[in-house]
């Protein structure tokens, strides 16, 4: 191939929807990259040109751990080169091909599914429909932690589209092109003239099915006609895992497969239901921030715990709601710490240390839970758990008081280390799942925390609008995405409406700034295509700096 001006080609990686992808090395040194090469001859047709410009705009706009990162754009007289981060572990299809039976154990399938969901939510919050989700378009890269599981990234936005407006009404924005790989296509894509963003949920269901079963649902089809017939068949209304696979798969996973692979899109799992599904638990998805998030909750729990144990009312009878809140804080902290253990990998020595802490916090929370039950029902079964010490109402000091910080673990390792993953990950499988007697108002609100974080980002954007509008627009994108996530996480209709109203006002501010930037760019002779892409005649560029700083 013709190398891009600043890179040396190493080898071909594969082909996307609009070009061939190569592994390349920068001539100036640095990390290797992946480069999609698109012949300029293809761009002679206006719709092809718009597709390429749209893909660049989408890639440049997206910054998320589970989305392939855009690096640069170059071109010569024959080709346009889209430079992206290199995912050195290949794609999920290749990963499955090296597994026994082409299938994963459920724990690993769930790990990848949660990452797909996290990336898909990010696309959803940016009004994007991928339309070609399949194992070949899910790339894998090494975890920054040596022993951690691979990181999955969604790639190939060559046919992605804006499938909704900012009002989040997916069903109102129909997509008319029948694009995508047949085995992963939703029935409505093949039989209806119009379809909507819910086609992506069907594709996710096919991918999850494939990871668990080792093949796609219609792998027995002997021809394209047979495959079409099976996909378009009205029965069964929901697909299920093969019996031999279902026997070794949890009920929540089986139910989620069927909910996603529901033929009628109106009866299929909704986006809200998918993102809030307890099997995914996106709030506690393993990541670089899991440890700091967990220790923030634990620190607050230990502080409250210590304060009330030493108070003038050590029995806690008059402070049941506070003790319930402390139990919840321990539960939330443990969920994040378990996510951190998974992120580190079972062979990482630090994971053992965190697992030791987790067991101590679980023990403490269980003791508090039993004591609260005793206070609530002294004559019932809970009363039988009372201590035989004679001082049944007095609580001991909480574990590791003063030894935990908001962002790191300072407790020394013990000689008797616990085996990694000695406690099941996930809030729903742990004995620390939120207690039935706990009022929802006492639970720490992840949605409220996300709203506050979003407002901090948006206020920064507002301050930068006059001096650095390009940077301000990026921050508006980030903050608004966080607000949309908060809407999805909020149960109360009243709270959802308040956040929606707040988001609309910020959307208006961002839109006004975007229009001002656009007018300034057009005054300079550059036509704004979208997503920071500008064009003048036969030239195309991406605006990184302040408006007004364009190529001459």
Determine contact, residues 354/402, Cβ cutoff 8 Å.
no
Q: Is 194 exposed, middle or buried (0-12, 13-18, 19+ CB in 10 A)?
A: exposed
For every residue of 145-209, DSSP letters joined together read STTSPPEEEE---TT-B--S-TT--GGGS-B----S-GGG--HHHHH-S-B-TTHHHHHHHHHHH
- Give the DSSP letter of residue 475: H
251, 257, 258, 262 alpha-carbon torsion, rounded to 10°: 160
End-to-end Cα separation, the chain, in angstroms: 29
CA of 520: how far to CAs of 159, 435, 514, 547, in Å? 30, 57, 10, 7
Catalytic residues: 132
**Which residues face 34 on adjacent strands?**
23, 84
3-state helix, strand, coil in the chain (%, to 5): 50, 10, 40
Distance CA 26, CA 467 (A): 33
Distance CA 207, CA 102 (A): 12
Distance CA 393, CA 163 (A): 59
């Amino acid at each position: 191939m013709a190398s891009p001006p600043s890179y040396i080609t190493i080898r071909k990686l594969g082909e996307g929807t609009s070009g061939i992808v190569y592994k390349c090395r920068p001539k100036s040194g640095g990390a290797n990259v992946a480069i999609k090469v698109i012949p300029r001859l293809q761009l002679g047709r206006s719709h092809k040109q718009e597709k390429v410009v749209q893909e660049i705009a989408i890639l440049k706009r997206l910054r998320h751990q589970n989305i392939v990162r855009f690096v640069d754009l170059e071109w010569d007289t024959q080709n346009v080169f889209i430079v992206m981060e290199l995912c050195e572990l290949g794609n999920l299809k290749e990963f499955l091909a090296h597994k026994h039976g082409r299938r994963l154990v459920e724990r690993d399938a769930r790990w990848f599914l949660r990452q797909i969901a996290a990336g898909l939510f990010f696309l959803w919050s940016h009004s994007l429909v991928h339309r070609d989700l399949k194992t070949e378009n899910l790339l894998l890269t090494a975890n920054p932690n040596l022993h951690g599981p691979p990181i999955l990234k969604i790639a190939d936005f060559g046919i992605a589209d804006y499938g909704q407006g900012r009002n989040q009404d997916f069903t109102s924005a129909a997509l008319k092109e029948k694009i995508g790989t047949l085995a992963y296509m939703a029935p409505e894509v093949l039989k209806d003239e119009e379809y909507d963003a819910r086609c992506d949920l069907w594709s996710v269901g096919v991918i999850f099915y494939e990871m668990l079963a080792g093949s796609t649902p219609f792998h027995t089809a002997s021809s394209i006609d047979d495959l079409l017939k099976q996909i378009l068949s009205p029965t069964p209304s929901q697909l299920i895992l093969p019996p031999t696979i279902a026997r070794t798969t949890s009920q929540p996973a089986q139910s989620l497969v069927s909910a996603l692979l529901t033929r009628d899109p109106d009866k299929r799992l909704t986006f809200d239901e998918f993102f809030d599904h307890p099997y995914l638990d996106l709030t506690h998805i393993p990541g670089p921030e899991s440890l700091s998030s967990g220790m923030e909750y634990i620190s607050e729990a230990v502080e409250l715990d210590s304060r009330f144990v030493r108070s003038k009312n050590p029995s806690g009878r008059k402070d049941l709601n506070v003790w319930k809140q402390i139990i919840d804080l321990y539960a939330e902290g443990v969920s994040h710490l378990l996510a951190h253990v998974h992120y580190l990998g079972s062979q990482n020595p630090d994971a053992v240390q965190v697992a030791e802490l987790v067991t101590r916090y679980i023990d403490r929370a269980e003791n508090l839970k039993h004591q609260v039950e005793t206070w609530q029902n002294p004559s019932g079964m809970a009363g039988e758990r009372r201590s035989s010490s004679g001082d049944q109402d007095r609580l001991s000091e909480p574990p590791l008081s003063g030894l935990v910080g908001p962002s790191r673990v300072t407790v020394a390792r013990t000689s008797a280390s616990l085996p990694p993953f000695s406690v099941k990950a996930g809030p729903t499988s742990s004995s620390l799942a939120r207690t039935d007697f706990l009022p929802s108002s006492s639970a720490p609100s992840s949605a409220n925390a996300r709203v506050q974080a979003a407002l901090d980002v948006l206020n920064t954007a507002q301050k930068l609008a006059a001096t650095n509008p390009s940077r301000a627009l990026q921050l508006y994108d980030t903050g608004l995405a966080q607000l949309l996530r908060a809407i999805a996480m909020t149960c109360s209709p009243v709270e959802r409406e308040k956040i929606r109203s707040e988001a609309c006002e910020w959307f208006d501010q961002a839109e006004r700034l975007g229009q001002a930037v656009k007018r300034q760019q057009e005054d300079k002779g550059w036509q704004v295509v979208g997503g920071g892409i500008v064009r003048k005649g036969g030239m195309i560029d991406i605006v990184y700096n302040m408006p007004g700083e364009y190529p001459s």
